[in-house]
Amino acid sequence: MRILVANAGSTSLKFKLFDYPDAKILAKGKVERVGDERGSIYWFENEKGESKKDECAKAGTYKEGIDLFLNDIGGASQADVVAFKTVLALRHLGVHIIDEDVINDLKESMSVAPVHNSAYLGAIEAFQALSPNAVLVGVFETAFHLTMPLKNRVYGVPYEWYQKYGVQRMGFHGASHSYIAKKLAPFRRVISCHLGGSSSICAISDGKSVENSFGLSLQAGITHVSRIGDIDPYIMPYLLKIGVPYDEIIRGFEKNGGLRGISGTSGDMRDLRSGAKQGNARAQLAIDVYTEGVKKYIGAYAAILGGLDALCFTAGIGENDYETREAIAQGLEFIGIEIDKEKNMRNEYEISKENAKVHVFVIPADEETVVAESAYALVSEGDRA
């Protein structure tokens, strides 16, 4: 069984083609800066280790990004199953064969996750046309967080809103955080920091999610690349009252906010680092807002867990930006977080000091493997039935 995993992030696309049951990786690829007018970065590697990189690729849309990878593997017909790291369908929170009901639920949930759901709906539509014989599977981001206790899910709104409308903290990045939970299974109290184009913090107790920085939508939590993160909900009615158009507010929340909104130039941490080193004060401010936000969540989640045994950094920023990790760790010595400067600069697997109370890790994200395993289990179970 060949399973192609399509992972559409807020600014990126990742692909892996697996051969099961051996879980052999036949090909993998990544498209960064999807939709960037300066061009996208595309990377591809086959099972022989042959690779190529195009730093001026054309991927103005997710479909164009998908086409880049499909062309290199010989077309969508190479896959028996196409598995998607789907984000939110309010009536489908686990792993599901994608049928008309799931697609309708994705559409109905669009108001909560407009960017991600539109991307996945477009990808699903493309694969339905290109590979009509493949089984399509949605591995929803919410699945890992179903273990969150009710006290960590309910908002301080009328309880009927939770009962009637499902207003609650959902939690996302489930594939990433569940992967970290498995990798760090020997540790009882873990905080996973998925830091990338979209960022979230997850408190994990005995391998289970107990709290996540996202909310009903992906807008909540720490400041994102272009999404706002936590804000006072009364900002919207205030702006509306003084005459700011609704569409402008939504663009500010989704596309023009976050690190991009603060800096006024870019939400990409690489650009912000470069700008800050050239004396751009707003670029440095964006970096500071980001690292302080992560630090606050780590402190809060250490309190929820009753202490901390392991801290993990993962995803694009978490894996590659040693300066961000260092800034986050500063001031957290009181809960046992101490990182080794040299290990951190080398992006080693464990970057904590030798005698530190909390083990600090840098673990490359592997959401695609989690998605492939979940899809294989579902399809294989159906075949046996």
> What ranges do the domains of the chain cover?
2-140, 147-362
CATH number of 2-140: 3.30.420.40
Q: What does the pLDDT average to over 179-199?
A: 95
Is the model's pLDDT at 385 over the cut of 50?
no
Q: What tens digit of pLDDT does each residue of 219-236 get?
A: 999 999 999 999 999 999
Confidence of residue 285 (pLDDT cuts 50, 70, 90): very high
Structure confidence by residue, pLDDT tens digits, 233-284? 999 999 999 999 999 999 999 889 999 999 999 999 999 999 999 999 999 9
Q: Which pLDDT does position 117 carry in this prediction?
A: 86
Mean pLDDT on 348-355: 95
Q: Model confidence at 367, in pLDDT bands (50, 70, 90)? A: confident
Three-state secondary structure string covering the chain: CEEEEEEECCCEEEEEEEECCCCEEEEEEEEECCCCCCCEEEEEEECCCCEEEEEEECCCCHHHHHHHHHHHHCCHHHCCEEEECCCCCCCCCCEEECCHHHHHHHHHCCCCCHHHHHHHHHHHHHHHHHCCCCEEEEECCCHHHHHCCHHHCCCCCCHHHHHHHCCCCCCCCHHHHHHHHHHCCCCCEEEEEECCCCCEEEEEECCEEEEECCCCCCCCCCCCCCCCCCCCCCHHHHHHHCCCCHHHHHHHHHCCCHHHHHHCCCCCHHHHHHHHHCCCHHHHHHHHHHHHHHHHHHHHHHHHHCCCCEEEEEHHHHHHCHHHHHHHHCCCHHHCCCECHHHHHCCCCECECCCCCCEEEECCCCHHHHHHHHHHHHHHHHHHC
**Predicted local confidence at residue 162, as pLDDT:** 93
pLDDT attached to residue 113: 85
Q: What is the mean pLDDT of residues 359-379?
A: 93
Residue 93 has pLDDT above 80, yes or no: yes
Kindly indicate the confidence band of residue 116, based on its pLDDT and cuts at 50, 70 and 90: confident
Residue pLDDT, tens place only, 78-91: 889 999 989 888 88
Percent of the chain with pLDDT over 90: 69
* Joined tokens for residue 336: 């046992």
- Per-residue pLDDT of 118-175, as tens digits, reads 888 888 887 887 778 889 999 998 989 999 999 999 999 999 999 998 899 998 999 9
Of the pLDDT bands very low, low, confident and very high (cuts 50, 70, 90), residue 10 is low
* Average confidence score pLDDT of the chain: 91
| More confident site: 308 or 143 | 308
CA nearest neighbour of 197 among 268, 271, 264: 268
Pick the CATH number of 147-362 from 3.90.228.20, 3.40.640.10, 1.20.140.150, 3.30.420.40: 3.30.420.40
In this chain, the answer to whether the domains covering 2-140 and 147-362 adopt an identical fold is yes
> What pTM did the predictor assign?
0.87
